[in-house]
């Protein structure tokens, strides 16, 4: 480490500092005989001390800086990454696994002498340290390369040693990964490349959601190697809650070639609600190497909650098509169009009704509205030229219209400030006033005090406070009123301007969602983050408790019991957060589960129940043949080579012969002000203290 001192003023100013110190000392002690008579040469000692103290103090006024240059030698970094997925172990017995582990440990010992060694394991995720459990459910090599690039792209990374079988089943192909390391990659080729007789399910394509009573299809990709001349069957079972199975479908096929692939489509019926577990299997063939990849379980959430929406209109109108196209994007909605004059279905069978230009001059729909009121069906009124304004004011109190339909205004929409029933993106507030105008009755509009206005009318360039779209609730029925027709123009204009319907779709979808959602009046509520989890995912729960005023509280303790299909209970206690509860229940085996949360408040026990399922991850079972070709491509791309476990001892020699894997010297320059050094204070204090002591001792004070 090299150190030097510099000044922020010319260095020759130090001469004046020395002269100042000498002059100060002479002034005090040259003619003073007090100490000369009592202690001989004490005057000289005190003069020198005073000179040093004053000189140091004056030098500090020149703002001296202490500069130091620190040089450090950094060894090149070598990364060893071990694939810890299940497919590695499938080609090893216990003896092979033990020997391989010893070989890797010897390699790390040999390399650590000359290189800075970093070790990682990868599979489900990238982790520090070498693991040899081979229990990870997936292989994601591209994620490893990306993380290594992010961590070491600006460091002295010399090489990467990648121990894997070349099988990846998550992430992109590592050969074509977007992130490119600039160091050689040496692949340790694991696994078995021998093509053995095997039939397997490669993949199953299916929807995660189906609706009760509907039919749905699953597509099964079946692959077979060295099985020519044999036959097999695809079978589908439903796995019941008690673990038993019920066969649903079966389909036979012939395997005609050694490299065989086929896709079978099977139609099933969603006849039970809830999360249903299905098992798809292919029957084994003679002398097959393994049967582990002959079956796969899938989970499908069968919903019995599809909301039926009726678009009821006085007459055909392009608004109906615009609304239908937007609403049908949501699979939870089943949309129908009907006209008030010939409505055949009972309105009681619908969950939400849009009343377009109804009540009208020709049809006051009093019977329909009476049935909707008795069923508390939420509704959205859209006013137009055919509306009967007087009747419209009678059947809802959210918006009062003092208008006639013979005269119209062209109005745009502006988002009202302070609207808080649901969130509106900034781009809607910015773009919506530019959209083509709607047609509203001419007159005055006023919202009820309890209503919430989402859109105001903009007439020409004037932004008014007249409501255009308003929401409210009366008699526990959610009601909305759009005081204009022609929203089909908004949908077209949105596409012309942005090449999509995102703004229109979001505005309509959120409005309908608010009106259709049923308010949860429960005082104790629990929720799980989703219905179907992978077996390597932790299960998280949230809970909320409300008092009589529906304010969040969490004073009492809350517990949770999870029950599996064999009636085994798992008990937990929620952790309290700021105002609610949370719980990480950890990992669960594959299967269907129910849960029940309990809490005692004000002498009452409140409960909340639900279900979730855990599905298996079997990706590692469906590809058992190692892909050493991919490892060769990967090593060639990065300038490395492929080695085998029994040849690991050659890697240190290969790395030593690489001229570009060398230590790097790092020089760091540090600059700091001397006045911040604590020892300077103690030196000055010591000098002044010595002078004070002798002067006091010999009567100088």
CA distance 487 to 505: 11
Question: Domains plus CATH for the chain?
Answer: 2-70+671-697 (no CATH), 76-194+625-656 (3.40.50.410), 198-303 (2.60.40.10), 307-516 (3.40.50.880), 524-615 (2.60.40.1930)
Measured CA distances, 656 to 621, 642, 659 (Å): 39, 17, 8
**Ranges of the chain whose pLDDT falls below 50:** none
What pLDDT shows up at residue 187? 93
**CA torsion angle 618 621 623 627 (round to 10):** 110
Measured CA distances, 471 to 62, 399, 452 (Å): 73, 9, 5
What pLDDT shows up at residue 361? 87
What pLDDT shows up at residue 290? 76
| Contact residues for 144 (Cβ-Cβ < 8 A; gap 6+) | 81, 120, 122, 126, 162
Measured CA distances, 655 to 109, 534, 699 (Å): 14, 41, 77
Pair 78, 115: CB distance under 8 Å:
yes
Q: What is the 3-state secondary structure (H, E, C) of 686-698?
A: HHHHHHHHHHHHC
What are the φ and ψ backbone dihedral angles of 138, each rounded to 5 degrees?
Answer: -140, 165
CA distance 38 to 694: 11
What pLDDT shows up at residue 306? 75
**What SS3 class is residue 100?**
helix
CA distance 183 to 167: 22
CA distance 34 to 42: 10
What pLDDT shows up at residue 448? 92
**CA torsion angle 652 657 660 661 (round to 10):** 20
**What SS3 class is residue 157?**
strand
The answer to whether the bond into 359 is cis (omega within 30° of 0) is yes
Angle at 593 between CA 589 and CA 599, to 5 degrees: 120
């Amino acid at each position: 480490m090299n150190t030097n001192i510099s000044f922020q003023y010319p260095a020759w100013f130090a001469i004046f500092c020395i002269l100042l110190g000498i002059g100060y000392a002479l002034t005090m002690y040259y003619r003073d005989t007090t100490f000369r008579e009592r202690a001989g040469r004490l005057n000289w000692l005190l003069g020198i001390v005073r000179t040093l103290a004053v000189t140091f103090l004056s030098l500090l006024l020149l703002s001296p800086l202490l500069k130091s240059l620190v040089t450090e030698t950094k060894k090149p970094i070598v990364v060893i990454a071990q694939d810890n997925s299940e497919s590695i172990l499938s080609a090893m017995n216990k003896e092979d696994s033990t020997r391989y582990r010893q070989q890797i440990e010897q390699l790390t010992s040999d390399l650590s002498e000359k290189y800075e060694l970093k070790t990682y394991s990868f599979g489900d995720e990238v982790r520090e340290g070498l693991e040899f459990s081979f229990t990870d459910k997936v292989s994601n090599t591209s994620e490893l390369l990306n993380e290594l690039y992010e961590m070491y792209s600006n460091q002295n990374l010399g090489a990467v040693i990648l121990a894997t079988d070349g099988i990846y089943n998550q992430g992109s192909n590592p050969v074509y990964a977007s992130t490119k390391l600039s160091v050689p990659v040496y692949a340790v080729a694991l696994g078995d490349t021998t093509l053995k007789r095997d039939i397997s399910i490669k993949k199953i394509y299916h929807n995660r959601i189906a609706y009760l009573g509907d039919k749905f299809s699953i597509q099964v990709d079946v692959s077979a190697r060295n099985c020519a001349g044999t036959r097999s069957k695809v079978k589908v079972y439903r796995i019941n809650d008690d673990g038993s199975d019920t066969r649903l479908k079966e389909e036979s096929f012939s395997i005609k070639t050694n490299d065989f692939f086929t896709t079978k489509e099977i139609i099933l019926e969603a006849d039970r609600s809830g999360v249903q577990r299905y098992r798809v299997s292919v029957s084994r063939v003679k002398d097959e190497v393994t049967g582990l990849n002959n079956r796969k379980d899938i989970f499908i959430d069968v919903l019995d909650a599809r909301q039926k929406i009726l678009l009821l209109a006085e007459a055909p109108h392009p608004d109906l098509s615009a609304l239908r196209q937007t609403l049908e994007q949501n699979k939870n909605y089943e949309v129908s169009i009907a006209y008030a004059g010939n409505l055949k279905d009972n309105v009681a069978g619908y969950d939400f009704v849009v009343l377009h230009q109804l009540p009208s001059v020709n049809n006051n729909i009093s019977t329909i509205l009476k049935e909707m009121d008795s069923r508390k069906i939420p509704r959205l009124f859209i006013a137009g030229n055919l509306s009967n304004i007087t009747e419209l004011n009678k059947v809802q109190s959210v918006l009062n219209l003092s208008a006639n339909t013979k005269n119209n205004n062209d109005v745009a929409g502006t988002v009202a400030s302070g609207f808080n029933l649901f969130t509106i993106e900034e781009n809607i507030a910015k773009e919506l006033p530019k959209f083509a105008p709607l047609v509203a009755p001419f007159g005055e509009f006023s919202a009820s005090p309890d209503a919430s206005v989402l859109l105001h009318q903009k007439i020409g360039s004037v932004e008014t406070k007249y409501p255009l779209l308003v929401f409210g609730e009366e008699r526990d029925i959610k009601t909305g009123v759009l005081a204009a027709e022609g929203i089909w123009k908004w949908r077209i204009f949105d596409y012309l301007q942005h090449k999509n319907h995102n703004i229109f779709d979001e505005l309509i979808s959120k409005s309908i969602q608010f009106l259709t959602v049923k308010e949860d009046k429960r005082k104790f509520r629990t929720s799980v983050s989703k219905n179907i989890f992978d077996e390597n995912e932790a299960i998280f729960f949230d809970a909320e408790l409300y008092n009589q005023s529906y304010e969040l509280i969490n004073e009492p303790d809350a517990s949770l019991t999870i029950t599996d299909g064999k009636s085994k209970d798992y008990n937990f206690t929620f952790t309290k957060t700021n105002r609610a509860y949370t719980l990480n229940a950890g990992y669960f085996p594959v299967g269907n589960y129910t849960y029940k949360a309990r809490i005692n408040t004000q002498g009452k026990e409140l409960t909340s129940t639900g279900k979730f399922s855990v599905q298996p991850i079997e990706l590692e079972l469906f590809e058992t043949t190692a892909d050493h070709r991919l490892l060769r491509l990967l090593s060639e791309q990065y300038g490395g080579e492929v080695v085998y476990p029994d040849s690991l001892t050659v890697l240190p020699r290969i790395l030593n012969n690489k001229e570009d894997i060398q230590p790097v010297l790092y020089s760091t320059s540090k600059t700091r002000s001397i006045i911040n050094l604590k020892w300077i204070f103690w030196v000055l204090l010591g000098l002044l203290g010595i002078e004070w002591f002798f002067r006091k001792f010999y009567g100088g004070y």
